[in-house]
Structure 1
Amino acid sequence: MPKMRNPNSPHSRYKGLLELPWDHGLPVPDMPSGREWTEAEREQWRQWWSSPQAAMWDESFIPTVAVMLTYFGKILEGTATSTHQMEYRHLAGALGLTAEGMKRLGWAFQGDAQ
């Protein structure tokens, strides 16, 4: 049986994670103009910008999150190409919205880094 990982080891990749607050208290930015957003997209926008990860984003992330949202809409509609889906996965990781992305960025949810 393999040894259990020790997150307190000096060589642990889990040491020094930045804990993201569950409630960052930041306002949800306005959605970019230029297209009509569906209600599902509007709700997803609110969820992403209310997530703990959004504490690490500033207004420069608005276009990136909006592009990801267009891919999200295409996925929901069933019109997404494999490229759309691949870019969605890439952006989700880059923004820390996946477990792998959070780990790569050195983030953990508040209370999970112990």
Structure 2
Amino acid sequence: MKQPARRNPIQRGESTTKLPNYCDLPTPAIPPGANFTDAQASRWDELWATPSAWLWSESEIGLVAAYVHLERTLFDGTGTAATIREVKALGESLGMTPQSRARMGYTIEEKK
């Protein structure tokens, strides 16, 4: 399913771009075969409402799904040290940490 065209609420500044502190675009469908639990489906919805979701397109849907799946393995005790590294790397590549957003040139606007 193609995502709807995104509005552009992003505020461009001198050296950084401010993202809105939430993303209110429709959440993409969970990819076929992901077989998420209810908790994972809720996490999927949460992630697509974060400020970082403004940076994602259809090409990141699989990465976000992998993040949700791997994150769950950490919580259920089946994850490994390699899983921790992969979750961290995915989070960084998706702009989910303040440090990764700063490297990308983004900040989050303050809540009003």
- TM bin (shorter chain): 0.7 to 0.9
The superposition leaves residues 34-64 of structure 1 with CA deviations (integer Å, 9 ceiling, x where unpaired) of 1421122111111110111101111111011
When the two structures are superposed, what TM-score results if normalisation uses the length of structure 2? Answer: 0.80
TM-score (norm 1): 0.79
What's the secondary structure of 1:36's corresponding residue?
coil
Structure 1 CA distance for aligned equivalents of residues 45 and 15 of structure 2? 29
Give the alignment's Cα RMSD to 1 decimal. 1.8
Runs (4 or more) in structure 1 with deviation over 6 Å come to none
Which deviations, in whole Å up to 9, do the C-alpha atoms of 1:46-103 show, x marking residues without a partner? Answer: 1110111101111111011111111111011110011111000011011111111111
Instruction: Answer whether contact 2:70 2:83 (CA < 8 A) is retained.
Output: yes
Q: Secondary structure at the match of 2:48?
A: helix
The answer for the alignment partner of 1:5 in structure 2 is: none
Q: Which runs of 5+ in 1 are unaligned?
A: 1-14
> Which is further off, 44-53 or 16-25?
16-25
Matches within 5 A, 1:1-114: 16-111=15-110
* Equivalent residues, number: 99
When Rg is computed on C-alpha atoms for both structures, the one with the higher figure is 1
